[in-house]
Amino acid sequence: MESCSQTVLIQNRLGLHARAAIKLVELAQSFDAQVTIGNGDKEVIADGVMGLLLLESSQGQHVTIQAKGPQASQALEAVCGLIEQKFDEDE
């Protein structure tokens, strides 16, 4: 089973807030892979908005995205891209 990870910087002003978390969960669920997001000592599976909000990831923090499964590399690339694009938010 494929497994990969990458650390990215949260750049959007509001950080990983509800709207951004919904986008991330929907994107992660569109791949045949389990995506987890870690922030220091906390780590959650990206299958629910509440878990992501509990990470309390704000602007300027780094998060580590891990993906496992048949589409791990595609999922990792897509999720990292979403975060790097500031969740497509106009600031």
* Residues marked as catalytic: 17
Please enumerate in sequence order all residues whose Cβ is within 8 A of that of 8, keeping only pairs 6 or more positions apart, or say none.
Answer: 62, 63, 65, 80, 83, 84
Please count the other Cβ atoms lying within 10 Å of the Cβ belonging to residue 52.
25
Cα 19 from Cα 33, distance rounded (Å): 22
Tell me how far apart the alpha carbons of residues 73 and 5 are, in angstroms, rounded to a whole number: 9
